[in-house]
Amino acid sequence: MNELGYIRVAAASPEVRPADVDFNISEIKRLISDAADKGSDIVLFPELSVTGYTCADLFFQQNLIEKTESALKELAVFSSDKKIAIVVGAPLRAANRLYNCAVVITGGKIIGAVPKIHLPNYNEFYEKRWFTEGSRCESGCRLDSDLTFISRNTLFEVAGARIGIEICEDLWVPVPPSCEMAMNGAEIILNLSATNELAGKHNYLIDLIAQQSARCRCSYVYSSAGLGESSTDLVFSGNCIIAENGTILGESERFIMKDKMIIRDVDIEMLRNDRVKHSTFSDSANGSYDIIMTDFAGCRTASMNQHEQNGILRHISSHPFTDGDPHRFRERCSEISSIQAWGLAQRLRAINCKKTVIGISGGLDSTLALLVTVKAYDMLGIDRSGITAITMPGFGTTKRTRSNATCLMELLGVTMLEIPIGEAVIQHFNAIEHDPELHDATYENSQARERTQILMDMANKTGGIVIGTGDLSELALGWCTYNGDQMSMYGVNASVPKTLVKYLVEGYADTTDNLEIRKVLLDIIDTPISPELLPAAKDDSIEQKTEDLVGPYELHDFFLHGMLRNSFSPSKIFRLACVAFSGVYDADVIRHWLKIFYRRFFSQQFKRSCMPDGMKVGSVCLSPRGDWRMPSDASSSMWLNEIENL
């Protein structure tokens, strides 16, 4: 395992010739060498890959079984100078029974074998004709002087990771053996398979593997028989698939006339962190498993000082909150907006309230909050006039944002008010003897608190509640005024990161039938992010741009996801960010904003400790009543020191 917590795994599907063991072994050797040269710690081959899966009654032939045993010894010798664990499929005989096995070889030794537990004997499958169920094999059953047969209750430790093995049909049963393996510590599940192609079966298989990796919080490596297997009755395309915690990391192309191999880095550290966080994961663990240790720690343990994408064989998304299949992402955005609206609707229904008050700036966050509130009212069948939307122009308000705010409120049919705050803030400055020309924190925060006071008082006047507009990224950075925009009576954006906000607004723009609303929303999306608390430029453009001051939100959201969702260290987040943002930000820029992120995240916890109620919409949330509990005076020195030493 390298310093990022990665293990490099390869899934290979070689060309085979049924019953031609010499040919099959030569092809396996070639792919082993290729996988080893590319830094793989483990290489997996298909079910019965030494002989071929479609040998049928030839499995009863003594010379085929003897040839298989000698071929496995040959592979062991071949592996002696290679730092890689090899897993091949072979028929093995013990105690007058034949077993369909996965054989583990490394460092010149055959270190163990695992039998197939569930043998399909229906439709096109007749495995019980030749093989015995692995559950009937006694632990430690002797095959010969070089190999001890290991029962199903066996895990292997390779390069610092625990490996469990199941074979083909084992995955398709109601409770796969991999479930118990994972609960007993297996972080990578290897599946040697011979899955034939049927119309629609491939999509089912992909979903099955993805879901099993999610259920087991593991990496799932799958290799299936392919080129050269007999097509007498069935077709095998040689699927190679690597999944991790519900995500498909890689998949080989089907129906090509050559052998296949895919290689990916799987994140063992992330899987371990996820299992620790979800405390119910191992509650159902039962039984005991033997652990067989390998002699090598992995071939990629050296420090990774290069940050190029080709140094890591997996996709590192620069936008983890918004990445994924475009169609599914659009569906997810629609679902998120519905969760937001439903949460607010339920709160209004529970407190028997039909009035809400919301401050509208013409920026993204308040726009999304207004759209969510409108949707909640529509869900409840309440007239939108019950929404009092207030624009409160101040010293930094520009014509663009003011116009967009006014237009949007009018088009949505809500009750609209405009209450300038300038005079009230100047009066406040006079009362506290603050120079209005001194544009410091007092100057800025006084405006934010004046706006909040107006909203709270209007809520009292109308008998309604104040809708909070602040987002997850602002909460993480503390980029809000304590007892100003930090406070509301219900925050609808509290678990929506800034990089997602614009996509949600864009979703509303794409689905509305009103072209005027669409036009306004798209212009809001195009407006620079700003609190508009400092005077505008002479040309009335926004002078105070948030990302110039606090840093790019795409970086901060990347840091936030790595820290909260995956519990990564600053050094790992930094290295992954250097890969994800290669060509966009250099290492010094990333390091600078990472330090700012951690400093602000720790110092601003006091604002989160008393944040208002608000629904959770994703896996990352900072509510002190739910996902994130942290002392407001915790020390950040350990994290900041680590960044200093990068």
CA dihedral 89, 93, 95, 97 (to 10 degrees): 80
519 in catalytic set: no
Annotated catalytic residue: which of 168, 240, 353, 578? 168
406 phi and psi angles, rounded to 5 deg? -65, -45
Alpha-carbon distance of 241 to 224, in angstroms, equals 9
Annotated catalytic residue: which of 15, 27, 47, 532? 47
Residue pair 495/617 in contact by the 8 Å Cβ criterion: yes
Residue pair 253/260 in contact by the 8 Å Cβ criterion: yes
Give me the amino acid identity at 255. Answer: F
168 in catalytic set: yes
Annotated catalytic residue: which of 82, 116, 502, 572? 116
Residue pair 372/481 in contact by the 8 Å Cβ criterion: no
Going by C-alpha positions, the residue among 214, 172, 171 that lies closest to residue 191 is: 171
CA dihedral 452, 458, 461, 462 (to 10 degrees): -130
Residue pair 43/84 in contact by the 8 Å Cβ criterion: yes
311 phi and psi angles, rounded to 5 deg? -80, -15
Task: Pull the structure tokens for residue 173.
Answer: 């049963």
Alpha-carbon distance of 79 to 255, in angstroms, equals 30
Residue pair 269/188 in contact by the 8 Å Cβ criterion: no
47 in catalytic set: yes
Task: Pull the structure tokens for residue 539.
Answer: 């040309």
| Distances, alpha carbon 231 to alpha carbons 51, 234, 271, 630, in Å | 16, 5, 39, 61
Residue pair 478/607 in contact by the 8 Å Cβ criterion: yes
Alpha-carbon distance of 287 to 153, in angstroms, equals 8
Which of the residues are catalytic? Answer: 47, 116, 168
